[in-house]
Every structure is written in structure tokens, then in C-alpha cells.
Structure 1
Amino acid sequence: MASPTAQSEVGLIGLAVMGQNLALNVAEKGFHISVYNRSGDKTDAAVSRAGKEGVGERLHGYKELKDFVASLKRPRRVIILVKAGAPVDATIKQLTQFLEPGDIIIDGGNEWYENTERRQAELAALGIHHIGMGVSGGEEGARNGPAMMPGGDEGAYSHLRPVVERVAAQTDDGPCVTYIGPGGAGNYVKMVHNGIEYGDMQLIAEAYDVLRTVGGLSNEELAATFVEWNGGELESFLVMITSLIFSVRDTEGEGFLLDKILDKTGMKGTGKWTIQQAAELSVAAPTMAAALDARFLSGLKDERAALVADVREALYAAKICSYAQGYNIIRAKSMEKGWGIELADLGRIWKGGCIIRAAFLDRIKVAYQRNPDLPNLLVDPDFAAELARKQDAWRRVVAVAVGAGIGIPGITGSLGYFDSYRRGRLPANLVQAQRDFFGSHTYERVDRPGWTHTVWDASFGSADSITTSGYNN
């Protein structure tokens, strides 16, 4: 183990696969990094691996937390990658025994944003800064370049910026990291990123189901189809890995591995948080909600080419709706909290490294640069025109799936979202009348301002009603 002399620009606690890979990434980019894990065997493993990968002289392992802290240059920058919740609180409590005012703790886990803001307030009393930084890209991204979403004190972030801009995925638009905003903004944006990810994965699974069940495509044909799709407007990390999944054969038996996997999906909570936030902010998110519900519930050969083309169009259109919903949740929360999140920046930093990276994020970035106050991606001129062109194919896919008894709630929910958003009038007037009837909740009229309550006929007949203006809902 290394001696505790101040030599490292950054420290990292938590050496499971993500933490170990990120530490190696930091070292590979030319920074000295100190690492610590509660169980020393993982520290030994990280040090050994660093030696094998040629970065051993810049990765320093410590068995004692005091020595770990002493090895860091001031202001000390400590990244924590442990399980969210109580383990983070316990780690911070131990760590603060050795930190000083001006030091910075960076939580790189998927933490609930209010926990981050609580910790920021608690640590501020000690003069210690706290940054909540979402990290996306999985194990591969952590090792070779993730997308990172830091939020908290901007001054503290300036000390972290030289490191994360080198460590992040690099694209033609620059590093896939930017200061998101104050408080828990970074964790919040990462949470909604994961909600979009849920929607994206569900939509792709539904497209697979339609092509397999209705179109009768084999795994080889599905692989070829997704390879082709990834060469066009659907180019993305998830479509790419899906094409590879179709091709993997089972090494323990006949056929393909995908066909042997139990149809029961796991989750870690961020998707559920996103839908809860959408409800609290009154932001429609049916595609992501359908994806979450799907996790909870966990003959046309001559027309095959036409079906594949239609599913491609439907998948793309539904994906745009899913991203639009995620952006709207972030925009609403940013307005509520005064975070000032630049939505165009998200399209830039999500282009590389993260799980939802996709070619059309460039176009989303341009849409928000063109109009930072864009109320919805669906009304951006370019996306609106594209969705209009694709809607016929979208409707055919929904119709054929319903006719075949195949549930595609994400694609169907996206179509409902698209249709509802572009209508001039929805049947919500009846719902509001019902609320006023049974609960005196009042309603607004289309022909004059103000709130109105009607004493509706208790006999449900057509007798005259009494209307009073000026109520406040």
C-alpha cells in the first residue's frame, strides 16, 4: 500500500466494478488518484489491476481512511461510489472526521435529489462542499468515458472540472459533462435520464415483440434488421447492443441465449422516482409510465418488409415522445427550483458515454438552442414535420399489434401523447364538470375569465342550475 503523502488530485471510495473502472479511467487520463474500500481485498484488487493496465504508478491504494484522506491534495476532492441512502450517510460521517473546510465530497451514485440537498446543508455547516453527480454509461462508460451530470456549488465544481472534463466521454461537441445547476439538479437530471432510458428500452422491446410475433422474424433476421436501423435515424447505443444480443447463441444448450432469459425485469428505483415526479409536477409522461408498468407486469410473411419499415418509423416517433417527456419533467423541476438548467446542454452531454446516447440528441440540442423556451419537442418545426410524416406507419403498427393481441403500451402511449398534445380540445371539460358536481371544485369557462361553480341538479335531470362566478379552484 502507498504512503500517506499528499500526492493525489482526487480520491475515490467504493471499489465495486463501477468505482474500480472509474478510478482506472482517472489514472489513465494522467491524474494521480487514491482509492479506499471498506473491505481491503477490493483495494488490493484495484491496485493489482492498475499495475496490469499500466497505470499503477498513478493509482494508490489505502487500507486506512485517515491515510487515504492524508494522501489528497487540498482542496480534497473525494468521489463516493457506494449504494445510495444509508451507506452514503455512513461513508460521509466517517469521512468528515478527517476532512477540513473547503474540501469537496462528490456522490457519484443514483441518489434521490432531496437526500443530496440535505447533505449539502449538513456539510455546509462544517464548511465542506457536496456535489451530487450522476454518472451514466455502465461499466464500460466508467472505464472509457461516461456522461456525468454534476450539481451543487458551482465554485466547488470548478475544482472538479479539470478532472471530469478529461475523464468524460469525448464527442465532436466536447466532453460529455457540464455543470447542471445548484442543489440536487445533477442527481435530478440523472434520475430523469434513467426514466428516459426505461422508456427507450421498453419501446425497443415492443418493436422486437411485434417483429417476432406478428412478422415471424428469426433472431438472425432481427439482428440484421437492428444493424440496418442503427445505420439510420435510430442510431443509438441501445439499438446497437440490441442487434448484438440477438446474435448471441446459448453456450449451455441449443438456440439463442435471448430465448432462454426469463421475462422478468429488474429495476433500481430511478424509473419509479421519475414517474412520481412527473405526477407531482403535472407533466404528462405516458411512455415512461408504460415502461414502468411493463416492468411491474413484467402469418404475415409477404408483408414482412412493410411491417419492418412501419415498426422502424413507429419506434423512432415513440422515442421522440419519450425524450420529450423527460425533457419536460426536467424543465418543470428546474423552473420550480430555480436551477436554471440549460436543456440544450443535456443533448450535448448525453451524446456520448451514457446509456441513452443517440444520434438525434444532436437535433434535440439544436431545437433547444433555436428556442430555449420550447414548450415541447413535439412543436419544434423539424420534429413536428417528421412526426407528421411517420404517424401513418405508427398507427398501422398499433393497429396490427392490437389485432394480434400484443400489448405495446409504450408505443401506444406515445401515440396517445402525440394525438392528445396536438388536439385543440380534449374531453377534460367533462372531467372538470364531474369534479365540480361531486366536490364543488369549480371550473373555468371558455367564454369569460374567472372560476365558476354550478349547483348541479341533484336529480340528474335538466332543471335550471345556479352559477356563481369568481370561485378560486
Structure 2
Amino acid sequence: MNNHIGIVGIGVMGSNIALNFSDNDTKVSVYNKSQEKINQLISADSSKNISGFTDLEEFVKSIAKPRKILILVPSGEATNSVVESLFNFIEKKDTLIDGGNAYYLDSIDLGKRCSEQGIEFIGMGISGGETGARTGPALMLGYGKEIPEDLISMISRIAAKADGQECIGLYEGFGTGHFIKMLHNGIEYAEMQILAEAYSILRAAGFDNAAASEFFNNLRKEKQSSYLIEITSSILNTQKDGAYLIDKIKPVANHKGTGKLTVETGLNYGFPLPSIFEAFNARVESNYQKIWPTTTKNIKIELNPIELQEAIYFSRLSTLTQGILFIEYFSKRENLEIKIEDVMQNWLEGCIIRSDLLKEIKSILKDGPPNKSIVESEQIQINLNSRIKNTKNLLSHCIENNIPTPVMYSSLNWYINSSSGFNPSSLIQAQRDYFGAHKVQLRESDEFLHLNWD
């Protein structure tokens, strides 16, 4: 047996990726300890290209050399355990692909361990959830020396497509694919919270669920179509037994840690990601809503829908710009050559944050000077500045009426702060030097010195 690729782990993602490969004429070996799960998967394989194994050695032997093995098990200890087990059977020049939700630093460590064994390693971020895995995900690959051409061919067949190109990113560095996926997830947190804040504003303005659903649906006509906006409209309009499902759900949001990792990574690099931080914090705060007695009941506001439309656009563009700037910073800091236009193509289809806005940013970058930062784009600034007045008006109204909008407000504040001609941080330097002799840096010098404040 000389199957083209092996997959370890056939949970939701592994099963759907395997079926996707099979439908695209790729012969797949799958490994799982449960014969029942293997049988279920093979029964669902209408293309009959999947073979199942409960013995790891037999699984490895079934794959054509040099082998390509995709690992789709929980990140961390489970992935490390699988890799250590595979080391007993694989050979030099074989390729291991970690397709789990790994932290990028763990991918770097795993890549180094594989290299020591003469094994090629790829850290591959996968976005699109269950449906994307089955019909076409966005794939973000981080590699060491090179990626085998036959592997690129195989994953190109299963990936999402946009504008005639696959939504695949090939990034230098074992951990870079998972870094890009991590930023994707952080942006996803912020976009979801922006829409939740918009929903809160709509409810305060007297919109029922059907009307709120229609508002989000109409955003598509304003060139704001996105997967998250589409599902938000659908969610708000879904009823069961005559009642809206959204009204039956507890107002508590949890997380699996990827937003937290994005924020922590930004802090470790000393790079600001305020909108993503506030989105993560909003989920944490949602679990502690009963600290104070309720003081705001039956809020009723007048809403200008245009202001809310523009505030959503402004906040989303501000958030995306923050994320893109961090990718630019990471690329420069780590001596990589990540092209933001390639990242935008990578995210155009298949992934959770796919949207018209990403297409717009890609087009703006394509038409601009090569290798320039996104903040050097005049059109990006025009798009923000033309919506800032309505965004301010809306958020002022929210503050006056006790409607929390942490990500919208943070997105506005970040833009104002980063485009302001005055920054009061000189006072922070002076305060630290005054009480702790931490020194200050004068405007016309790179030197740090302690001043006499007496």
C-alpha cells in the first residue's frame, strides 16, 4: 500500500480533512485507537480512498516514502506524545505536519526536535472549522528548509479558493504558520465582540431580534459582507418552538485560549493590540457580571443606523490594522519576509474572518508601493478618517447611556492615540525617574540619564 498522506487523529477536524483529501483523489491512511471511529469514517467515504489503522507501525508502513503525516490531535502534550511515538517508525526525509491549534513557540521547538532526527517539520494553522475542513479551509504553513512539491499539490486541492488562487500561506519558519493563525484568531475575537456590541446597541435602540438580524444582513449591501456578519444575522433570526434561540442562551462567553495567547504574545514583544485585548477581556468579564447591583434597566436610545454601520466598519478596520502591524513587526524582528498581501489572500476564503474588508485591504496593498507598511497607505487613512465622526457620535451616545462598547471604544482610542501629535508619556518617564531614578531619554538624544528633580 502506498497511500499519499497519513492522518493521525480523526476527530471533527481530522475526519473532515480526510474526507476532503479523499474527494480530491488523494489516498489517505488514518490512524486512531478506536476501530469504531475508523469504521464510521470509512463508511462516510464515498470516494473510497481512505484506509484505517489502529496499529501505528502498520499505519506508517502504508504511506508512500518519503512520508507525509498530518497530526490532528489536541495541541501540547498529546501532539508531543504522538511525535515521540512516530519517531520509532518514520525515517529521515519524512515530513510531519502539526495541524493542531499549537502555540507558535511550541511549533518552533517541535521543528527543532524533528530536524535533529532528520525529519522535515511543518506547523500548519487551519481555519474554517468543521465546514471549512470538509469543503475548503484556509491553510497557514510554517516550514524550515522547504515544503515537498507533492505536499503542496495535495493541500492545494483541498484548500479554499479565492480570485482563482488557493487560500494557502507558505511562510518561512517552523512557527510562522501558527503565528499567523494565532493573529487570525485574535482578530476573530475582536470582530465577534464588535458585532456583539453592535447587537447590544441595537437592542437598546428598540430593535427586536428580527430587526437586528435584518440590520446585519443589510451590512452586506454596504460592502461589509463577512462570514461572521452573515452567521450573526442568521443566529438572531433563528427560532425554535416560536422562541428565538438567542434569548435562551446565557450571556456568558468562554474561550479556548487563542485570544489570550495573542494578547500575551503582543505583550511579550511590547506591541499594542488593544482591540484584541479588550475582546478577550470582555469574555472574561462576562463571567463576573453580578459584582454590582444592576443600575441600568430599560435603556432606550435613539439610533442613527448610519452611525452604527460606520462604527462597525471603523472598528473592524482599526482592529485588522493592529493585527497586520503586529505581523509586520514580527516579520522584521524575526528576519522573515512575510508579505501582508499574501496573508490577505490566505484569509480571503475558508477562514472564519473572511470578508469584503480583507479583499479591500488586499486590493489597496496591491495597488500601493511594494513592501510598504499598511499605515503608509493613504487609502486606509481615508477610510478611517471618513468614518471617525460618526463613530465618535455613536460611542459618545453609548457612554451617555451606559452601554459598554469596549472594543469599539478601544479601536477608536488606538487610532486617535497613534495619530495624535501629542503623547503625554514624557510625564510617565519623569515620574519614574523622580521616585525611582529610572532615567529619562531626552528628545534630541539616545542617551538615558537621571535628572535632578529637587
TM-score by length of 1: 0.90
Residue equivalent to 2:196: 205
Match among 378, 401, 405 for residue 404 of structure 1: 401
Residue equivalent to 2:211: 221
Residue equivalent to 2:323: 326
SS at the partner of 1:402? helix
Letter in 1 for 2:101: N
Letter in 2 for 1:402: I
Q: 1:376 to 1:342 in 2, by over 3 A?
A: closer
Residue equivalent to 1:234: 224
CA contact (8 A) 2:225 2:355 kept: yes
SS at the partner of 2:146? helix
Residue equivalent to 1:277: 265
Question: Residue by residue, what CA displacement relative to the aligned partner does 1:406-447 show, whole Å, maximum 9, x if unpaired?
Answer: 111000000100100111121111111111112222222235
Letter in 2 for 1:177: I
How many matched pairs? 442
- 1:315 aligned to 2:312? yes
Residue equivalent to 1:171: 162
Q: Using the TM superposition, give the Cα deviation of residue 303 of structure 1 relative to its aligned residue in structure 2, in angstroms.
A: 4.5
Question: Residue by residue, what CA displacement relative to the aligned partner does 1:103-126 show, whole Å, maximum 9, x if unpaired?
Answer: 001011110111111111111121
- 1:9 aligned to 2:22? no
Q: For 1:274-353, list aligned pairs within 5 A.
A: 274-298=262-286, 303-304=302-303, 306=304, 308-353=305-350
Q: 1:448 to 1:83 in 2, by over 3 A?
A: closer
Question: 2:285 and 2:272 mapped to 1: Cα distance?
Answer: 21
CA contact (8 A) 2:339 2:371 kept: no
Question: 1:447 and 1:18 mapped to 2: Cα distance?
Answer: 56
Question: Residue by residue, what CA displacement relative to the aligned partner does 1:239-280 show, whole Å, maximum 9, x if unpaired?
Answer: 0111100111134xx520001111111211111111111112
SS at the partner of 2:421? coil
TM-score by length of 2: 0.94
Question: Residue by residue, what CA displacement relative to the aligned partner does 1:134-168 show, whole Å, maximum 9, x if unpaired?
Answer: 00000000000000000012423434211111111
CA contact (8 A) 2:344 2:362 kept: yes
Structure with bigger gyration radius: 1
Question: 1:358 and 1:390 mapped to 2: Cα distance?
Answer: 19
CA contact (8 A) 2:299 2:401 kept: no
Q: Using the TM superposition, give the Cα deviation of residue 300 of structure 1 relative to its aligned residue in structure 2, in angstroms.
A: 9.6
Alignment RMSD, CA only? 1.7
Q: 1:302 to 1:14 in 2, by over 3 A?
A: closer
Residue equivalent to 1:59: 50
- 1:117 aligned to 2:108? yes
Residue equivalent to 1:70: 61
Letter in 2 for 1:73: A
Question: 1:398 and 1:310 mapped to 2: Cα distance?
Answer: 9
Question: Residue by residue, what CA displacement relative to the aligned partner does 1:322-342 show, whole Å, maximum 9, x if unpaired?
Answer: 111111222222222222211
CA contact (8 A) 1:76 1:104 kept: yes
- 1:258 aligned to 2:253? no
CA contact (8 A) 2:169 2:177 kept: no
- 1:99 aligned to 2:99? no
Match among 130, 140, 145 for residue 136 of structure 2: 145
Percent identical residues: 32
Q: Using the TM superposition, give the Cα deviation of residue 373 of structure 1 relative to its aligned residue in structure 2, in angstroms.
A: 4.3
Structure 1 residues not aligned, in runs of 5+ = 458-473
Q: Using the TM superposition, give the Cα deviation of residue 20 of structure 1 relative to its aligned residue in structure 2, in angstroms.
A: 0.5
CA contact (8 A) 1:149 1:189 kept: yes
Stretch moving more, 379-388 or 312-321: 379-388
Question: 1:45 and 1:258 mapped to 2: Cα distance?
Answer: 33
Letter in 2 for 1:99: I
Question: 1:281 and 1:360 mapped to 2: Cα distance?
Answer: 27
Residue equivalent to 1:464: none
SS at the partner of 1:230? helix
Letter in 1 for 2:140: M
- 1:246 aligned to 2:236? yes
Q: 1:232 to 1:29 in 2, by over 3 A?
A: farther
Q: Using the TM superposition, give the Cα deviation of residue 193 of structure 1 relative to its aligned residue in structure 2, in angstroms.
A: 0.7
Letter in 2 for 1:277: T
Question: 1:317 and 1:326 mapped to 2: Cα distance?
Answer: 14
Q: 1:398 to 1:302 in 2, by over 3 A?
A: closer
SS at the partner of 2:356? coil
SS at the partner of 2:131? helix
Stretch moving more, 116-125 or 198-207: 116-125
Question: 2:54 and 2:373 mapped to 1: Cα distance?
Answer: 52
